[in-house]
Chain A
């Protein structure tokens, strides 16, 4: 596996039900690690007087929209950035309300780690199950369970243990093996967030920050090199340059490599590589590159250049996927969707819907209709083939975004489980 920057920068999403303390935990992390500027602190102080009981409200650091402050809730993802000497962090604070689940999916889909907040007084609720299920399906590398407001249950270990068991059961029910890292905290008081708490002598693990600084983030699973062509850089005249530009996934590409242009099935070789515009001998996953090819082949946006390595993506017109339905209107068998996969948009028809997750009972049930925020399995027949891996083989090469062909709205997030 080639080295990447993923262990120096880590992307984190806070998830969980409304009022369980996600925004407060992020505020506490930033505050105690000196990630808040003085003018921001004084602005929060002023806003705390306006919107609350006057006590300093750390959540106002990320709840930046007027409607959020007025209602005391998070509507959309807020992104915050801070660094310690060991790592830099991108924090996505996602909303807990069920009607804003699409925003939670956005925040969690690119995160290495999800921190699920659970209010110790209320335990696991339906929205906890929904968020934990989605984070697991999105394949975060680690799930940190912050059992919050422990001060309000007298720091009882049995309360903590029961919640850890319940969250473990959610993961088990959907067959996820994501490592679970439970920590008892009080976000508003700071216990076990940056500083170890004297209130939890029975807990010997790290603080939230201590854990985030040391977690080993696995790189995206390696596969064949996959270069979706976004654009062709062309210089006419003297040099006659034709560079097929895109972001590389899965594996490395070198000058001289044999590649196959899909879905056309043409074999050729790489004659030059540019990484971020500069000539290079080698490109690694995550690089924005452009390659020239040996033969005058017809390659354009939407095509995929595949290098050596395994597993290779398959050219497929029939896919099965886990879906998070984010549309305001229902999804039914027979519906037509625009499906954006890598740099290609194809249309497709829903052939079958099944296994909708009942978040009350954590059982899968048959379904013919999906409504907003449902999680289910779906089968889709595509009008044109895509070149894809499963989501387990690659987060980018195995994901599809569904777009409503009439409204142009983004209505679904799909994780491919089978492509043929």
Chain B
């Protein structure tokens, strides 16, 4: 992995819609950084947080990113993602904060969902504890409005009260995208610079900028088990149960999350372009395809956000 060269941009006056999205995101990152005391960037190792980090680097270049990145670590990680995270942090000279869900379980802050249970929902507690411990007052997230119907309703700045909860009926108006990041002590906000990006925009930007990604986004062969309509990778918390058949499949991931609930899709796409073609042709949303935790109920995402989720 190499840091991007100090390239000179095209001097012509035409701008694409990716340029417009990039500028909007950089503006949000700068505005929130200036408007609060202690921001942090939430970094999962997924493609959206990779793009978010890339935009933060661009926002402040040639200076360093003036805030740390935080990984909320479920302990159910793909090895490739942790290797990628550590390489990126070292490359950009970032300060990394790891908030551990395992530690929250050990400390009795949350119940252990068991060795094979999903820890996605429990992340909210770990996240809120870490925000309090480090006195962060704003957290950048890679959330996009096209991901889910509750996210589609969220403003660029999302206010969280002292308990970290989101109240969708009391969102601040943002006329002309003018952000109002003023908060009282103990409150914090989440900022979503990628609000107006779609999955396709993210991939086209990744291709254009050659943003480094964890290798699991590209097609590879892997041992998987069919469970609940998903292809789950064998490894870490996922072991084949009695009666389940393990097979080796050619797959890739559309999202990166807790191994126990993040499904793979069958794919031969090994390049950005092949992935873009696949995404453009897809008839199923990325969360619908690969996230068991969003399919529990009709308002799964809204419920989790009200509890303090990203």
Residues of A within 8 A of B (CB): 2-5, 8-9, 37-40, 43, 46-47, 50, 61-62, 64-67, 75-81, 88, 90, 102-103, 105-106, 109-110, 230-231, 233-235, 239, 241, 243, 245-247, 252, 274-282, 284, 286-288, 301, 326, 338, 340, 343, 395-396, 399, 401, 403, 408-410, 413
Contacts and interface: CB of A to CB of B under 8 A. Distances in A.
Contacts of B9: 275-276, 278-280
A268 B99 CA distance: 47
23 contacts: A3-B15, A5-B14, A37-B284, A38-B288, A64-B150, A65-B302, A66-B302, A76-B168, A76-B169, A81-B198, A109-B175, A241-B62, A241-B63, A247-B26, A252-B13, A277-B59, A279-B8, A281-B8, A282-B13, A340-B180, A401-B176, A401-B178, A408-B180
Contact of A276 (B23, B178, B289): B23
B152 interface: yes
Contacts of A247: 23, 26-27
Contacts of A9: 17, 20
A182 B168 CA distance: 34
B173 A106 contact: yes
A38 B284 contact: yes
A410 B180 contact: yes
A39 B16 contact: no
A8 B173 contact: no
Contacts of A64: 148-150, 152-153, 302
Contacts of B30: 230-231, 245-246, 288
Contacts of B58: 276-278
User: Closest 8 A-B residue pairs measured CB to CB?
Assistant: A64-B149, A39-B288, A277-B58, A277-B61, A288-B26, A408-B182, A109-B175, A288-B23
B59 A245 contact: yes
Given A79-B146, A288-B24, A409-B172, 9 more contacts: A62-B149, A75-B168, A81-B198, A106-B155, A110-B176, A233-B61, A245-B60, A280-B8, A399-B176
B60 A401 contact: no
B100 interface: no
A385 to B, nearest CB: 19
Interface of B: 6-9, 11, 13-17, 19-20, 22-24, 26-27, 30-31, 33-34, 57-63, 145-146, 148-150, 152-153, 155, 168-169, 171-178, 180, 182-184, 195-196, 198, 282-285, 288-289, 298-299, 302
Contacts of B171: 76, 103
A5 B17 contact: yes
A230 B36 CA distance: 12
A4 B16 CA distance: 8
Contacts of B16: 5, 8
A230 B23 contact: no
A408 B184 contact: yes
Contacts of B195: 79
A103 B146 CA distance: 19
Given A276-B23, A410-B174, A66 B61 contact: no
A278 B8 contact: yes
Given A5-B19, A282-B11, A408 B169 contact: no
B114 to A, nearest CB: 28
Chain A interface SS verdict (over half)? mixed
B275 to A, nearest CB: 17
Nearest to A401: B178
Given A67-B169, A75-B169, A281-B11, A105 B59 contact: no
Nearest to B27: A247
B148 to A, nearest CB: 8
B167 to A, nearest CB: 11
Given A5-B19, A66-B302, A326-B173, A233 B182 contact: no
Given A66-B302, A247-B23, A78 B149 contact: yes
Given A284-B13, A403-B182, A65 B150 contact: yes
A282 B12 CA distance: 8
A245 to B, nearest CB: 6
Contacts of A340: 178, 180
Nearest to B171: A76
A47 B178 CA distance: 35
A47 B299 CA distance: 11
A3 to B, nearest CB: 5
Given A37-B282, A37-B284, A3 B145 contact: no
Nearest to B200: A83
B183 to A, nearest CB: 7
A37 B285 contact: yes
A45 to B, nearest CB: 12
A37 B288 contact: yes
A110 B177 CA distance: 7
A243 B30 CA distance: 13
Given A4-B15, A79-B152, A106-B174, A278 B284 contact: no
B284 A106 contact: no
Contacts of B283: 37-38
A158 B115 CA distance: 69
Contacts of A106: 155, 173-175
B180 A401 contact: yes
B149 A279 contact: no
Nearest to B13: A2
A343 B176 contact: no
A301 B30 CA distance: 11
B230 to A, nearest CB: 13
A62 B180 contact: no
Contacts of B183: 408
B159 to A, nearest CB: 9
B180 A40 contact: no
A5 B15 contact: yes
B18 to A, nearest CB: 9
